Amino acid sequence: MIDDLLEPLIAFRRDIHAHPELGFCEHRTAGRIAEQLRALGLEVHEGIGGTGVVGVLKNGTSTRSIGLRADMDALPIHEQTNLPYASKTHGSFHGCGHDGHVAMLLGAAQHLARSRNFDGTVNFFFQPAEEGLGGAREMVKEGLFERFPCERVFGLHNWPDLPAGTIATRPGPIMAAADRFEISLEGRGGHAAIPQDTPDAILAAASLVTQLNSIVARRIAPTASAVLSITQIHGGHTHNVIPAEVSVSGTVRTFDAAVRDVIEDALRKIAAGVAMAHDVTAHVDYQRCYPATINDAQAAQEALEAARTVGNAQIAPEPAFTSEDFAFMLQACQGAYIWLGQAKAEGSVPLHNPHYDFNDDVLGLGIRLHVALAERHLAKG
Ligand SMILES: [Zn+2]
Ligand SMILES: [Zn+2]
């Protein structure tokens, strides 16, 4: 029943791949999606959270409802696949497979619009700007779940670490919260030969790096998990000058809001303490980007049950330390984030790599999973 949809959908996926658009600029992509949803007879809403598109499909009399989400944006990477349908836009590339996500959700809309084997409302959410810009947050802020109420919301992401045919999810945390920080240490600057007159921002930065690395080891319980990585130090320009300013930057990943609070608090205290000890001043810019993606236990169970009807379903043993702005939808609505395996027998290319491409062999499985989630939650009778 779904197989006849695949050939045109693969062509559609490759067209989106050839015309990638960065976050909040998905005008062509959103336009093509809206056009297709309208042709299916769905109620279509555009411009939600920037370039977001929502398609609403109702059947029967039930007030039950479900939301299914796909992200639409590309990454600022120069594609190096040499595929016939490679990106025509220099420096923009579907390196996270969101082209595949769009095609799978559109396929589910096509199938459900004609089969109508459900009773209730299916909301198809095509969101902008997943890659760092928080398109899901913007849609939620604009009242997504008030305008299109959902008892459950599910998001599917292709997963190169799992073999094609495998579907995995887990109750509780599945993706990490991602924060970034920059600490500027400011002294006065002066002659390197007269250290007694010049506070040393370089030495303060060295101490800061060591102290910050003690936070996870000494302040967080061994049974919890977190990452603090320092990824940049900038300061100094020549051999005989003590610089006036040095900056230290990095990222923090956590799964638990309390652990996140402890880390930010400790980081601020250490920056202040180190600055005081070295007679410099510290300015801390700590930005909480995406929260942790936390699956509702019941919704994760439902997702696994739906997955079992279409593929090889498994409980993911541990969460990933990467992050995902579907987290904002899960803060507003019970639901689950699901990994769709896409590795070929010969291996796989990781997400965000310039040689990556979505595996069209799993497109049908992704459609079947979306359909199973909708038909299961909105079962007739
Ligand atoms: Zn990505
Ligand atoms: Zn992605």
pLDDT of 74: 98
Ligand 1 centroid to residue 377 C-alpha, Å:
28
CA distance 328 to 366: 22
Q: Is 98 annotated as a binding residue?
A: yes
* Top CATH class, 3-174+292-377: alpha beta
* Ranges of each domain in the chain: 3-174+292-377, 177-290
DSSP of 314-372: EE-SS-BSS--THHHHHHHS-EEEEEEEEEBTTB-PPTT-TT----GGGHHHHHHHHHH
Residue 70's identity, in one-letter code, is A
Dist CA 320 CA 176 (whole Å): 6
Interval 230-285: pLDDT, tens: 999 999 999 999 999 999 999 999 999 999 999 999 999 999 999 999 999 999 99
Strand partners, 123: 56, 67
pLDDT digits (tens, 9 = 90+) for 86-144: 999 999 999 999 999 999 999 999 999 999 999 999 999 999 999 999 999 999 999 99
Average pLDDT over residues 11-40: 98
Distance (Å) from CA 234 to ligand 1 centroid: 27
Tokens of 157: 């992401």
Residue 381 has pLDDT above 90, yes or no: no
Residue 131 known to bind ligand: yes
Fold observed for domain 177-290: Alpha-Beta Plaits (3.30.70)
pLDDT in tens, 54-101: 999 999 999 999 999 999 999 999 999 999 999 999 999 999 999 999
- The string of pLDDT tens digits covering residues 321-378 is 999 999 999 999 999 999 999 999 999 999 999 999 999 999 999 999 999 999 999 9
Judged against a pLDDT cut of 90, whether residue 300 lies above it is answered with yes
Instruction: Say which amino acid occupies 359.
Output: N
177-290 shares the fold of 3-174+292-377:
no
Residue 130 CA to ligand 1 centre (angstroms): 7
Q: What is the pLDDT of residue 1?
A: 78
- Cα–ligand 1 centroid distance for 298 (angstroms): 26
Tell me what pLDDT residue 112 has.
98
Quote the pLDDT of residue 98.
Answer: 98
Q: List Cα–Cα distances, 85 to 82, 104, 357, in angstroms.
A: 8, 18, 10
Output the CA 352–ligand 1 centroid distance in Å.
6
User: Comparing C-alpha atoms, which of 35, 10, 27, 337 is closest to residue 159?
Assistant: 337
| Ligand 2 centroid – CA 131 distance (Å) | 7
Output the average pLDDT for the chain. Answer: 97
Query: Tokens standing for 162?
Result: 């799992």
Distances in Å between the Cα of 161 and the Cα atoms of 157, 166, 204 are 12, 10, 41
150: annotated binding-site residue? Answer: no
